[in-house]
Each structure stands twice: as structure tokens, then as C-alpha cells.
Chains A and B, each alone.
Chain A
Amino acid sequence: MTNAILEIPEARAPDVPVRRKKELRGGWSAAIWFLLPAMLGFGLFILYPALRGVYLSFTDWNLIANEGEWVGTDNYERLFGSDWNNVKHSLWVTFKYTMINIVSQTFFAIMLAVMMDRLTKSVFVRGVLLVPWLIPNVIVALLWVWMLDANLGVVNEFIGWFGIEPVRFFTDTGKVIPTIAGINTWRHMGYTALLIFAGLQTIPKGLYEAGALDGATEGQMFRNITLPLLRPILALVLVITVVGSLQVFDTVQVATGGFGNRPGGPVNASRVIYLYIYENAILFNDLGYAAAISILLVAILLLVTFLQLRLLRAGESDLA
């Protein structure tokens, strides 16, 4: 795929023999100046804490007292043993959330992107769709808790006009996860749509013309031209969205616990894995165990990402 945006109109003296440039390009002595700040940041704030986290997972670290002892694999044994039910439950909740979120977000994003591509190029529309993304997660959650409340919420008032009973969005065990997924979709669908929209621009228009001339319908063209050629972009979007969904936290914590309740309810129906980690670290004062669960989460993330990139053959593009 070409980045057609960066074209050089005039080449300069191409037949001057190349001489000194190799020495300037190679080796660490040149690269180090470019890399130093980033390496510093990475080492200090990502690598070192991560390694420390791994260490912590082999201890019984008491967060408040800020001390702990080596306990070997105790935490891991507990994770896969006595506490497995809780861990499994949280993983399952997270998985459910991710599935619902991905499906709904991708669906709406693609729909919006196609509409922006085919219906209207209006910057206003694109701008409006971006607005939710600008608002912090916390605020979005609070806003929707207020709007979706079973008693005071305007949404239930609205559906009451259609004669439907008020829906308990956050306090019905079966509805809380889809509701939170819906909130996140609302926040991200515009942004994701724009990413996909950009991807749509890279599809050579000639293909659509040819398709139209052959008498293909919009739907057929979408299935046979758009989707396959969007694969790299879709792959990127999916990877990022999945990784993000598996780590959902802010929204859940504020939406289910923002008013003095224990988050993750009701009956732990929304206790996503990240929340369980946080609970163990801060509420139960068991940082070692929380670290162990985190390692499990990292392993899962790596695995899922690897599988996704493989399955979606994200490195290739059907255009080439």
C-alpha cells in the first residue's frame, strides 16, 4: 500500500556519487541520541515496574505496610486452585463484555464509516461523531448512570412512552454487562468509524466503478470489495479494541461503584478481571496475589493479540 500523500515532485541530483552518508547512518553512536529519552521513559516507567510486578507476584506483599516476603508460587497455586472460581468468573465476565463490545462497536463503526463515505462527506457529521470520544470515561459513565437509572433516568421515561416497563440497566445481573458495553460503544463508535473511514479512502475507487458497471448492488460491493480490502485497517482496529476491552476498568468502576457501592455488582456480574485485580490490591491488601492475576492477564493479552494478528493476516493486504 502506498502512502500516496508523501510524494516528492523533484528529485535532486541523483547521479552524484553517494559518499559519506553511510557513516552517519549506522551504529549505536548515532541512534543513541534519538533513542535515549524514549528508552529512559520505557525503562523507568514501564519495564522496571513490570519486572517489579513480576517479583511481587512471588511475594505476599502488604500494600499498606509496604513490606512482604517471598512465598514462591503460593499466589499462582491459589490463582489456579482455591481461588480459581473467582478468577474464572472474572475472566468469563470480561470475555462476555469484550465480545459484546467488539461486535456492537465494530458493527456501528463500519455502518457509520460507510455512511460517511457514501452518503455525506460533511465535516460537521464527522465532528459530531467524535464528540463522545473527547469526554473522559469517568464522566461518560456518570452521565449514563444518571440517564439509565431505573427510577430517575430519562431513558426509562422514554421507553415508558412505548409502554415498556422500566429496565434495570445496572442492577439486573443479566443487563449490566451489555449496558456497560453499550456505553463504551457510544463513546468509541465515532472514533472507530473515522479510522475505518480513513481505511475506506485507500480503496481504489476504480474497483467500485467496475463493480457498478457489472451491475453489482451496494451490498454485494460491500461484501466483495470493501470488507476484504479493509482487512488491514479492521485488523488494527480489532486488535486495539480487543486489547482495550479486555482491560476495561474506569467505566465499570464508576458505573457500578461510583456512589459508595461495592463496584462489580450486582452479585459480581460486572466484576471484570481488571476490577478483581484492583480489589485484591487495594481492598484486600494483597498486592502479591493481585500481581499474579495481572501476569495471567498479560499472558492472555499476548496470546489473544498474537492469534488475532495471525487469523486476520494483518500483515498482508489484498491490494498488493
Chain B
Amino acid sequence: MKHQTMKALTLLLALVLLAAACGSDSDESSSTAAETGSESSEPADDSGDDAGSEASADAVTIEYWLWDGNQQPVYQECADDFTAANPNIDINITQFGWADYWDGVTTGFASGSGPDVFTDHLARYPEFVASGVLTPLNDLVERDNVDTTQYFPGLAELWVDAEGNRYGLPKDFDTIALVTNSDMLTEAGMSVDDLSNLEWNPTDGGSFGEMIIQLTIDENGVRGNEDGFDPENVAVHGLGLEGAFGAFGQTTFSSLAASTGFEMLDVNPFGDSANYDDPNLAATIQWYADWIDAGYIVAIEDVESLGGTTIFQNGSAAMMMDGSWKIGTYIGPENPFPVEFAPVPVGPSGQRASMFNGLADSINAASEHQEEAWQWVKYLGSSDCQDVMGAAAVVFPAIPSAADAAIAAREAAGVDVSAFTTHVEDGTTFLFAITDSAGQIEAIVGPAMQEILRGQATAAERLAQIDQEVDALLGS
């Protein structure tokens, strides 16, 4: 019986093998046709970094990578428009989750199988530049008369390195605002107006702090500002945290820290000394740690695993700071309650502050279709594509006219996003800190922040320690 089973199994295996061989052959040819790009049917030649501008007359496919699944349909639309205007260039868009994206890009570069064009990030691009794998765009920008002043002020300069080489054209921007659970606001007897002129300071929290305390409710229904409040058993925290702090705290501490006048680098971009030992930063982080301890802010342990949005949507936090790319999440059907967007509080410096980040697309220097890649990047940075993005209102485009369209689209849907755009208008933005060692800085600062917020170290002490480590890293 065993013998027969063996025979049967072997036969089965052989059949599958046969099917696989036939199947994969046809798949192979069809997929090879579809995905040329840096992996074309020409012999794999890694010295394909031709900075030349040879536009091939045959059909070319550009491999384009991005991580935000929400934006993919919009980019597909742009791609379709682009191909209509440039029939010999086809764009193949692939989306990878954030957790995998950069690993994929890195190994893509390492193994010569990377994309032709990919969505780049300010924290990462310096490293790529240092390794020489990105194509500088200066000559191309000049040749094609691309107007780099058509974007919001400050965005275009972010993508130019210390030597003056440009590596991307801005395509969108994002800022930070305060998101509030409307139902909880009403139950506390407050209204949207109470959110509009909040102030904060690290000593007592200011009016922002008062609001947080008032919105905090313990398990017995006692509010934070009432007698008998039990900080050990809090049901709803006044303020939530979007996630672990990390080294830059874009959606967590960056706004409040910057509103004290704190600046992360001595010179941004590419400074060689960090200011993690600034007492203002220490005061800010310590404020977070102390208020977590007091029960007003959600414990950091609760947001490090699945993220703070889960906590917020779950009703465990009344307010939270978050980025404009999450607007869709909060007004979407999965959010169980209505929300209000308000600008972040004014700080001791007398002003608000929001980190100003913007994405751009970079070209892989090893791509065998430099000219076609450039055409795509140029298109993405132009109002042709950005108007489409604006109308879809998933993110804010980098070109003001397109951004207006986005704002208008949101407003037409009944969503007031002025809390995000006010920073651009008032000039209260500050730039993402750009260094070429973002990964290592993250590895040094991230755990330190986790320790401080758990009460295992004081901010002043710990931050002074890591400042030395980071300086050593940057200076070297």
C-alpha cells in the first residue's frame, strides 16, 4: 500500500512540476514584458547608470514604488494621464507597507533590482545620496525649465543637499494638528471654540493642560479636575499619543518642543551637532512623562504596539496630535465618532509650531531609463498631477493652487482642515531635521525616550547623555 502511495505522490509531484514549468514559462514571458524597468530583457548590466538622456522609441515601463495605499488610486490616475500623454512610457506602480518599504528599497539598491522611481523621505534620502545611488536633477531641471519656485516656500530647498545637488521635486506637504473626539468635547460641556486658542507651557500645561485635565475621566466617572480623581484607574485620558516618540517625534512631541523655541539641529539640513541637551526639550519631555504618571496622558506602553490611533478610536483618549495624512482615517467610516481638528497650542515662545514635512520622488541612478524616469518625476512635480491629487484630497499637494483645491474639496465634504493649513499661512512651520544618519539616531534616541516616558530615567539626565552620542555620530 505504501508503495502505491509513493507512486501516486511521485506522479502528483511530477504533474505539478510539469504544470509549474509550463505555467511559469508563460508567466515569465508575460511578466517580463510587463516589468522591464531596471530588470529588462537585456542582459543584466549593472553599469547601467547612464546619465545619458537617450529616450528609447520602444515601449518602456517605469517601476514606481510608494507606501501609502490610500494614495495609490490617485497616483494610478496620474499614471494613466501620463501614459496618455506619453504613449511609449508605461508606469507600473507597486505599493509596499511602511514596515517593509525601506528594507525593500535598500535591498533593491543593493541587489540592483530596485525601482526606477520611488517615493522618497527626508529622513532617508541623505543616506542614499551618500551612497551615490540617486540621480541629481539639476541639469534636467534647468534643461526643461522646471519652475522650482512654484511650490510652497521652503519645500523645494529641502531636497537639495549640502553640495547643492537636487534629488527630488516636492509633491506634497503635511503638518500636525490636534484631533479631538467631538462627543467627549460636548459631554465635558465644551465646544469647538474652546479649542481654537489653546496655550501650553511645560510648567503647568497652560490652558491646553487644563483642557486635558478636564477631559480626563477615571473609571468611576470622576473628571481630572474634580475631587476623588483616581490616577491609577483612568478610563479616558485627556491626551493620547500617536505612538512611540522616536528621535524626531513628528506626531508626538515635536510641536510642543518647537513651541518653546527648541531646534533639533544647530543647522538644518546637515548640521553636525544636535541639541538634544537643550533644557527646553528636557522640560517638554519631562512634562509628558509627569502627566503620563498623573494619568492625564495615555501611558506610552499602551500606544507602542498597535499605535495611538487605535487608542483614540477605542475611546481611551479624548484628544491627540496627528498628521494631515491621517485626515481620511479620522473622518472615514471606521472612526466610530465625529472629530474636530484644531491647531496645536501656542507655546512659551508666543507661537505655534508644526513640523513641515514633504515627500518627493527620487530617481534610481542605476535605472536604465533615466530620461523616462525624469519625465515621470517631472510630471509628478507638476500641477498636472498635483491638481488631480488636490481634487482627490488625500494629501495636500506642494503647489499652492493644487493645495487650495484639496482644501476646497475637504470643505465641500464638510471637513474644516484649516487647522493644518494655518501653519503654512502664518509661517509657523519648522523643517524635519535632515541628517545622513537617521537610522542610527533613531536607534540611540528612541529607546532613551521610551525609558524617560516609563519613568525609568529623568529627561534632563538621559537626554544629555544621548546628545553626546548623537553629536559623536554626526560629527564623525
Interface set of A (CB-CB < 8 Å, partner B): 62-66, 145, 149-152, 168, 170-173, 257-262, 265-268, 279, 282-285
List chain A residues, Cβ under 8 A from B102: 283
B99 in contact (CB, < 8 A)? yes
Query: A65 touching B450 by the CB < 8 A rule?
Result: no
Q: Across the interface, which residues of B come within 8 angstroms of A168, CB to CB?
A: 301-302
A267 and B450 within 8 A (CB)? yes
The answer on a CB contact under 8 Å between A64 and B301 is no
Task: Let me know if B128 is at the binding interface, CB within 8 A.
Answer: yes
Q: Name the CB-closest residue of B to A261.
A: B244
Name the A residues within 8 Å of B304 (CB-CB): 170-171, 261, 265-266
Which secondary structure dominates chain A's binding surface?
loop
Q: Kindly list chain A residues whose C-beta atoms are within 8 Å of the C-beta of B99.
A: 257-260
| Closest Cβ–Cβ distance, residue B107 to chain A (whole Å) | 7
Closest A residue to B437 using CB positions? A284
In Å, the complex CA distance between A184 and B244 comes to 26
Stretch at the interface among B179-187, B309-317, B426-434: B309-317
B440 touches A284 (CB 8 A): yes
Known: A262-B246, A262-B446, A265-B450. A64 touches B109 (CB 8 A): yes
B106 touches A64 (CB 8 A): yes
Q: Which residues of B contact A282 (CB under 8 A)?
A: 103, 106-107
Chain B positions near chain A (C-beta within 8 angstroms): 98-99, 102-103, 106-107, 109-110, 112, 127-128, 131-133, 243-244, 246, 300-302, 304-307, 310-311, 314, 316, 439-440, 442-443, 446-447, 450-451, 454, 456
State how many angstroms separate the Cβ of A34 from the closest Cβ of chain B: 18
Closest-by-CB residue of B relative to A254 is: B99
Contact A152 B314 (CB under 8 A): yes
The answer to whether A260 and B307 touch across the interface, beta carbons within 8 angstroms, is yes
In the complex, what residue of chain A is closest to B100 when comparing beta carbons? A258
Residue of B110, B244, B307 touching A265 (CB-CB under 8 A): B244
Per DSSP, chain B at the interface is: helix
Whole-angstrom CA separation of A65 from B46 in the bound complex: 12
CA distance A259 to B308 in the complex (A): 11
What would 6 A/B residue contacts be, using CB atoms closer than 8 Å? Answer: A151-B302, A168-B302, A259-B307, A261-B243, A266-B301, A282-B106
Q: Which residue of A lies closest to B132 (CB)?
A: A65
Closest residue on chain B to residue A266 by CB atoms: B450
Contact A151 B311 (CB under 8 A): yes
Known: A151-B311, A151-B316, A261-B304. 9 other contacts (CB 8 A): A64-B133, A66-B112, A150-B301, A151-B314, A171-B305, A260-B243, A262-B442, A262-B446, A285-B131
Assembled-state Cα–Cα distance A62/B130 (Å): 10
Q: Which residues of A contact B244 (CB under 8 A)?
A: 261-262, 265-266
* Chain A residues in 8 Å Cβ range of B107: 63, 282
Contacts of B302 in A (CB 8 A): 150-151, 168, 171
A266 / chain B contacts, CB cutoff of 8 Å: 244, 301, 304, 447, 450, 454
Contact B306 A151 (CB under 8 A): yes
Cα A64 to Cα B110 with chains together (Å): 5
- Cβ 8 A contact of B305, one of A64, A66, A149, A173: A149
CA distance A170 to B307 in the complex (A): 12
Q: Are B110 and A63 in contact (CB under 8 A)?
A: yes
Task: State how many angstroms separate the Cβ of B469 from the closest Cβ of chain A.
Answer: 11
Shortest C-beta distance, A252 to chain B (Å), equals: 13
Distance in angstroms from B125 CB to nearest chain A CB is 11
Q: Which residues of B contact A64 (CB under 8 A)?
A: 106, 109-110, 127-128, 131, 133
User: Across the interface, which residues of A come within 8 angstroms of B300, CB to CB?
Assistant: 171
Q: How far is the CA of A63 from the CA of B310 in the complex (A)?
A: 36
Structural contact, B133 and A149, CB atoms closer than 8 A: no
Bound CA–CA A235/B110 (angstroms): 40
A217 to chain B, nearest CB (A): 40
Known: A64-B128, A151-B311, A151-B316. A285 touches B246 (CB 8 A): no
Cβ-defined partner of A267 (8 Å) among B110, B131, B447: B447
Across the two chains, which residue of chain A brings its CB closest to B439?
A283
Closest 5 pairs (CB-CB, A-B): A65-B131, A171-B301, A64-B131, A283-B439, A64-B109
Structural contact, B439 and A260, CB atoms closer than 8 A: no
Name the A residues within 8 Å of B127 (CB-CB). 64, 285
A103 to B128, CA, bound (A): 45
A66 and B442: CB pair below 8 A?
no
Q: Indicate the member of B127, B302, B443 with the most A CB atoms within 10 Å.
A: B443
CA distance A265 to B443 in the complex (A): 10
> A218: shortest Cβ distance to chain B, in Å?
35
- Known contacts: A65-B133, A283-B443, A285-B131. The answer to whether A172 contacts B301 by CB under 8 A is yes
Separation of A299 and B61 alpha carbons in the complex (Å): 46
Hey, which chain A residues are within 8 Å of B439, CB to CB? 283-285
What residues of B have a CB within 8 angstroms of the CB of A258 in the complex? 99
Q: Are A66 and B109 in contact (CB under 8 A)?
A: yes
Which residues from A are CB-within-8-Å of B454?
Answer: 173, 266-267
Chain B residues whose CB sits within 8 angstroms of the CB of A170 once the complex forms? 304-305
Give bound CA distance, A172 to B450, whole Å. 11
Task: Give the complex CA separation of A258 and B451 in angstroms.
Answer: 21
When C-beta atoms are compared, the residue in chain B nearest to A257 turns out to be: B99
